[in-house]
A and B are shown apart, each in its own frame.
Chain A
Amino acid sequence: MQRSFLSRLTGLAAWFAALLIAFPIIWMLVTAFKTERAAIAVPPLLIFKPVLGSFAAATAQTGYLSFALNSIIVSLGATLFAVIIAFPAAYAMAFRPGRHTQGLLIWMLSTKMLPPVGALVPVYLIYRDVGLLDTRTGLIILNMLMNLPLVIWMLFSFFKDIPAAILEAALVDGVNTRQQMQHLLLPLAAPGIASTALLSIILAWNESFWSINLTAAHAGTLAAFITRFSQPEGLFWAKLSAASVLAVAPVLLFGSLTQRHLVRGLTFGAVK
């Protein structure tokens, strides 16, 4: 009795915490179905007649689809190149470590501590001069570079979980490095590579700083799309919410579908 009461209390607390964390998303979802007038009503309306007008307005004038397409291309492209570069890098670090491998890993991670705004001006000027401003290529390169440390780290730790003797056995058996990567490492680390790629896609999708600052009409992602609704003429809460829902819905859906993979990937090796 005592125990079931306690566990029920814990459950209740967990629900409360979850609701608190999810509240902004839920409120955004609710607001998206309101009219502009209902959206700014004080006290906030909990019961209202849902309308789809904000969605229509948010997509009609703005070319939502082209922003969404940019988001897809940029996040997939950045992830693809990051994994292609990180795979051999992580291989070298996991199976042929040198004297500087550990330091290199730490250094790579430390680059994530630099505030992006510190690099904005130089990157902007370089991009302007080489013609990468407002291009998908430019965004793919930036996102790829930003995710690279994390992708290398994750692949590195997945590779570390593969017994080195398996690759050594293949090596002595005359199997060369490329064949080892293709026929042993790739299939053995496939679940790890998948969860690494998922995380990289989500990070690139959610990236807003560079997307907002380096793109205009042509290569803007959904992050840039949202900012269009907080323009000088004032905030339009319902339209902004509708736009935000449209921007986060794909990745939210994607995330929940692949949740099991993600959690497994992030906790891999932690319990062994």
Chain B
Amino acid sequence: MATLELRGVRKTYGTGEVVKGVDLSIKDREFVVFVGPSGCGKSTLLRMIAGLEEISAGELLIDGVRANEIPPDERELAMVFQSYALYPHMTVAGNMGFALKMAGKPKAEIAAKVAQAARILQLEALLDRRPKMLSGGQRQRVAIGRAIVRNPKCFLFDEPLSNLDAALRVQMRTEIAKLHQELEATMVYVTHDQVEAMTMADRIVVLNGGRVEQVGAPLELYRNPASKFVAGFIGSPRMNMLEVAVAGHDGAAVRLTLPGGESLAVPARDALVKTGARVTLGLRPESLNLADDGALRGKVEVVEHLGAEMLVHVRTPQDDLLIIKAPDEARIHPNQTVGIGINPARSCLFGEDGLALILRVDALA
């Protein structure tokens, strides 16, 4: 239905810059998620697309047309707010049909569109209720319904699930993903929850301090983070980070010296590292395993049993904390000393500037 393009978009308040030049192209029918810690500018960016915030510099194009000066009520977008922002004095049907009524659409058409949206969102039984009488999940569905009836060019979601409890959040997550497939609409979704980003997005835009850290498909970001920040933000539990030294490298691998003096070879093509450089080795919890003959040893601090798997927090003698994801078994206890094996195939290396040193070609293979 619509493409969005951001060209060097900036937002300044007084002397402070909140969004520091964002370039992004969103394709038709794409589900793009803006994710980042609070204050990273993701909501501001969304509000600039909606027209609720002025664009200080740069250009926004909707369907290839410059939209900076188009007022929000003429952009033909729809937005779902964190607080739902329902009209408290109107019924569910009134809420959903309000925009159409204001646009002067005939009553029969409004009723048909409201009925259709209500069917999609299972709100048929609630059409005569006021927002006050609805649960959080129902309110959220009404807010989405209000967006659907207008058949907008693009849906904008501003942390729509953060006011819901955990179980409902998981359910709504799949409902929104399903909705995206059904409506074949372009959607831009803002969240601080990387799980939401990973599960819903076609592409994730990771923002930090007003800048784009990385744009990519969820698995691409997970396996091949462009920076230490992205590596730490995407994935739960976090990626383990170890400060290591480069012992040497040849065409196929980089040899590293681990904090305890152990040696590890990481396969890497064209690694941009010098012998002797201090780098950060990033290891996903699933790249580590419990092995008596492993390269590292450490003392178990906590064991989190998740049923199918467990998370073992291990403190090394060098005081590094490593989290290991392993098949759940009862034999691991706190204060026990364990050996840790490393699978270097999926490891990441970051330079002192926090940027990835190896861009692996096999990232998505």
Contacts and interface: CB of A to CB of B under 8 A. Distances in A.
Contacts of B98: 170, 173, 175, 183
Contacts of A179: 102
B218 to A, nearest CB: 28
A171 B85 contact: no
For chain A, what secondary structure do more than half of its interface residues adopt (helix, strand, loop), or is it mixed? helix
Contact of B102 (A169, A183, A188): A183
Contacts of A174: 73-74, 76, 99, 102-103, 150
B50 interface: yes
A173 B78 CA distance: 6
B121 to A, nearest CB: 17
A169 B142 CA distance: 13
B88 interface: yes
A165 B87 CA distance: 10
Given A173-B146, A176-B73, A188 B89 contact: yes
A172 B89 contact: no
B78 A172 contact: yes
A106 to B, nearest CB: 20
B150 A173 contact: yes
Interface size bracket, B side? 20 to 34
Contacts of B78: 172-173
A165 B88 contact: no
B77 interface: yes
B75 interface: yes
Contacts of A172: 50-52, 72-73, 75, 77-79, 156
Interface in A181-198: 183-184, 187-188
Interface size bracket, A side? 10 to 19
A172 B78 CA distance: 6
Contacts of B79: 168-169, 172
Interface in B73-128: 73-79, 81-83, 85-89, 98-99, 102-103
Nearest to A187: B89
Contacts of B76: 174
A216 B102 CA distance: 50
A173 B76 CA distance: 7
Given A168-B52, A187-B89, A188-B88, A173 B83 contact: no
A163 interface: yes
B81 A169 contact: yes
Contacts of A163: 83, 85
A169 B73 CA distance: 10
A184 B52 contact: no
Contacts of A92: none
27 contacts: A163-B83, A163-B85, A165-B81, A165-B82, A165-B85, A166-B86, A168-B50, A168-B52, A169-B79, A170-B87, A171-B51, A172-B72, A172-B73, A172-B75, A172-B77, A172-B78, A172-B79, A173-B73, A173-B98, A173-B147, A174-B99, A174-B102, A174-B150, A175-B98, A176-B73, A183-B98, A188-B89
5 smallest beta-carbon distances between A and B, as pairs: A165-B85, A173-B99, A169-B85, A172-B79, A174-B73
Interface of B: 50-52, 72-79, 81-83, 85-89, 98-99, 102-103, 143, 146-147, 150, 156
Interface of A: 163, 165-166, 168-176, 179, 183-184, 187-188
